[in-house]
């Protein structure tokens, strides 16, 4: 049996993968990768067999059970197998299901962390996730599905967090903002959308929570780009701050 390594590719830019991740990727014989992994990333493993097993919201995706079986099967054929995941494997990456499959088959594996999109986005818009006297708690959230497949309300912990970063919330932006306002967050709370962070397609735009609830963010969001919703007063404009080429100028005019 070979060894499987789950590697976090980071938010998009190929040079944001960790040194360890790049080294192990260069030694891989076969790489199962997400749909959003940058093409530039494969310069680290030019001779490896590449298998796309990505998942895209609203588009044809690879079933998780099939990915699990492939990992097990390939570990029986190759010594060095890499499962390359966007962001960090341990955050909304279904790593637990893949690790369980490998453990059940008795296959050795390792996990190499990556930079999750929230951290890259905070750096890109120059807004810390935590801020002394303003934000002492951060929640990473995604929309949950109930038994009937219907979106359910945000968890109390997410609502109460000073800074909330919402993954895969593009289509629910207005509903999420409305829920937060109904739960007591002020309508003038800063609310950012950051798309395709760290890639050539990156865009960002600042709103208020009230504007997001009204549908302004959904009208701006690109329908095919991955995006984050970043909500909280830590993301508000600082006194004397230089204008961001797009986002801060928009936020100033909206405030």
* DSSP secondary structure code for residue 223 in this structure: T
The total of other beta-carbon atoms located within 10 Å of residue 218's CB is: 17
Cα–Cα distance between 52 and 64 in angstroms, integer?
A: 12
The total of other beta-carbon atoms located within 10 Å of residue 59's CB is: 9
Active site residue 131: no
Do 98 and 92 touch, CB atoms closer than 8 A?
A: no
Contacts of 75 (CB under 8 A, 6+ apart): 1, 2, 3, 4, 81, 102, 105, 107
Do 56 and 35 touch, CB atoms closer than 8 A?
A: yes
Do 130 and 25 touch, CB atoms closer than 8 A?
A: no
Task: Catalytic residue, from 3, 15, 34, 151: name it.
Answer: 34
Active site residue 34: yes
Task: Catalytic residue, from 3, 55, 131, 160: name it.
Answer: 55
The total of other beta-carbon atoms located within 10 Å of residue 108's CB is: 12
| Active site (catalytic) residues | 34, 55
């Amino acid at each position: 049996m070979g060894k499987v390594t789950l590697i976090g590719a980071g938010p998009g830019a190929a040079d944001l993968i960790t040194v360890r991740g790049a080294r192990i990727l260069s030694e891989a014989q076969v790489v199962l990768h997400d749909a959003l992994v940058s093409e530039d990333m494969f310069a680290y493993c030019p001779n490896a067999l590449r298998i796309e097993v990505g998942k895209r919201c609203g588009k044809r995706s690879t079933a998780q059970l099939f990915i699990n079986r492939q990992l097990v099967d390939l570990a029986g054929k190759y010594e060095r197998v890499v499962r390359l995941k966007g962001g960090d494997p341990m955050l909304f990456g279904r790593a637990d299901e893949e690790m369980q499959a490998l453990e059940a088959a008795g296959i050795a594996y390792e996990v190499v962390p990556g930079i999750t999109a929230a951290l890259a986005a905070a750096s890109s818009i120059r807004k810390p996730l935590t801020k002394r006297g303003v934000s002492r708690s951060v929640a990473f959230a995604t929309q949950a599905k109930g038994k009937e497949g219907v979106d359910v309300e945000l968890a109390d912990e997410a609502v109460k967090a000073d800074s909330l970063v919402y993954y895969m919330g593009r289509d629910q932006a207005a509903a999420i903002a409305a829920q937060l306002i109904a739960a007591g967050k002020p309508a003038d709370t800063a609310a950012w959308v950051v798309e395709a962070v760290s890639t050539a397609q990156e865009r960002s735009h600042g709103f208020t929570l009230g504007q997001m609830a009204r549908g302004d963010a959904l009208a701006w969001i690109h329908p095919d780009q991955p995006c984050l919703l970043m909500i909280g007063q830590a993301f508000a404009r600082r006194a004397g701050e230089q204008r961001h080429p797009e986002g801060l100028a928009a936020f100033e005019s909206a405030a």
